[in-house]
Structure 1
Amino acid sequence: MSKVALITGAGRRFGYELANDLLDQGYTVYAHYNSSKQGVEQLEQRGAIGLQADFSDIAAIDDMIATVKEQAQHIDLLVNNASCFFNNSDVDDDADKLQAVYAVHAIAPYKLITGLQDVLSTANDGLVINITDIYSDRPSTDYIAYCGAKAALANMTLAFAKSLAPNIRVNAIQPGPILFLPEHDSDHRKQVLAETPLTVEGGLQPMIDTVKFFRDNPFLTGESIKVDGGRALKI
């Protein structure tokens, strides 16, 4: 029986590369996306199953959960990776963006973990990995809502780890400067790397390796690992 993974935000960056890695390992991969299907179309060509859902709509989350449960008798790995990133002025000027920040980072993971609990338990060692942020416990004053939502996800990681043991393990990864965005100019990149003790952009492979570390060590639950080159030490 092949292993099954559900990755939210699978169309780009870390979600996309993790999905490809799991497909290489023989997993059946459910690849969630919101609006752009570009990366997921490529994953579907490799055998992944694309799932569209706007996480700002609770009914859409419930529909996606129902679809997965109709098709998958078990899930071995759930990665709550979907994200949206808005600064203070964005959420102050647009209530929909404020709602989206908390829906994507807190409500959707809560609904997915609770809604898929029975099929995660069927895997005997079901694993949930929540992608939080180094700012979840060292918040930025420029992204207060985002940091608050990620902090909520970090706290849920601990609570679910306690409540779902021993059948389901729940852990978190706190990424730092893994992969700069195209809009990050050279000055921004230099500043971030100057605040990072290892002084390099991490790339996506360290994140993928950390997923495998959690998967392959069955005695870890309620843990959070910073994959940030040490940047949390300086912010």
Structure 2
Amino acid sequence: MNKVALITGAGRRFGYELAESLLNEGYTVFAHYNSSKQGVEKLEKSGAIGLQADFSDNQQIDQMVDAVLAQANHLDLLVNNASCFFNNDTVDQNDNALNAVYQVHAVAPYKLITGLSSLLAKANDGLVINITDIYSDRPSTDYIAYCGAKAALANMTQAFAKSLAPEVRVNAIQPGPILFLPEHDSAHKQQILEQTPLTVEGGLQPMIDTVRFLRDNTFLTGESIKVDGGRALKI
């Protein structure tokens, strides 16, 4: 039976690299994007099925669920990776930003897991991986809404692990300084790496390796793995 995966936020960074890796392994990949169309167009050339949805709109989430239900008879892997990152000032001044933080990190994963649980149960060892954050345990005071939304996703990871067992496993990955953003200057990078025991930017491969570990170890559910070079020890 052909393996099928759905990756949200697949148009860039980790989502893109994971989608490409799974395509190379022979998966059928549903690649969700909101605005990063160029990356998904590249994935489509390799056989991915692109799905556009703005997760701030529940109707679009439901339509995406319906699209997957119509095109797949099982789902081996759901990776809730889509993200948005706003500081306190942004969400305090813009209700749309505040709404997006919780929609993208909590509401959308909830609706995707519940809406696709029947397909996950039809797979041989269906698996959900939620990408949370090391800040879901140790919140930053500069990104309170973001940390709260990621904490909600972390809590849902454990709740769904209990409710969907034994047919479906649900785990989480908590990334740290994996890949700096273009807007991060050298001073910011140095500060973060000084707070990271392994003192290096992790890159995307450790994240992909952790997805494979969670996939291949079929006796893990309800777990959360930090991929952060030890940074959570210092924040």
Matches within 5 A, 1:177-216: 177-216=177-216
Match runs of 1:162-181 below 5 Å? 162-181=162-181
**Is residue 52 from structure 1 mapped to residue 49 from structure 2 by the alignment?**
no
Quote the Cα distance in structure 2 between the aligned partners of 1:68 and 1:117.
Answer: 12
Specify the alignment match of 1:28 in structure 2: 28
What amino acid does structure 2 have at the position aligned with 1:187?
Answer: A
Any idea what the Cα deviations from partners look like across 1:176-200, whole Å, max 9, x if unmatched? 0000000000000000000000000
Q: Which runs of 5+ in 2 are unaligned?
A: none
Equivalent position SS for 1:127: strand
Distance (whole Å) between structure 1 residues aligned to residue 142 and residue 163 of structure 2? 34
Q: Aligned residue for 2:124?
A: 124
Contact 2:12 2:36 in 1 (8 A): no
What is the one-letter code of the residue matched to 1:77? Answer: L
Equivalents in 2 of 1:37, 1:198: separation in Å? 34
After superposing on structure 2, the runs of 4+ consecutive aligned residues of structure 1 that deviate more than 3 Å are none
User: When the two structures are aligned, how many residues end up with a matched partner?
Assistant: 235
Write the distance in 2 (CA, Å) between the matches of 1:102 and 1:41. Answer: 27
- 2:74 — aligned with what? 74
Q: In structure 1, what is the Cα distance between the partners aligned to 2:181 and 2:85?
A: 12
Give the SS at the match of 1:11: coil
Deviation at 1:35, TM superposition (A): 1.7
* Deviation of the 1:124 alpha carbon: 2.9
Q: Aligned partners of 1:131 and 1:124: how far apart in 2?
A: 22
Partner of 2:173: helix, strand, or coil? strand
Name the structure 2 match of 1:64: 64
**Displacement, 1:36?**
2.5
Q: Partners of 1:57 and 1:182 in 2: how far apart?
A: 28
1:84 maps to 84
Structure 1 counterpart of 2:228? 228
Distance in 1, matches of 2:174 and 2:142, equals 19
Match of 2:138? 138
By how many angstroms is 1:2 displaced?
1.1
Paired letter, 1:198 = L
SS of the residue aligned with 2:158?
helix
State the distance in 2 between where 1:15 and 1:36 align.
Answer: 11
* C-alpha distance in 1 between matches for 2:118 and 2:162: 16
DSSP 3-state at the match of 1:41: helix
Separation of aligned partners in 1, 2:77 and 2:36 = 23
Provide, for residues 193-212 of structure 1, a one-character-per-residue CA deviation record: whole Å limited to 9, x for no partner: 00000000000000000000
One-letter amino acid matched to 1:59:
Q
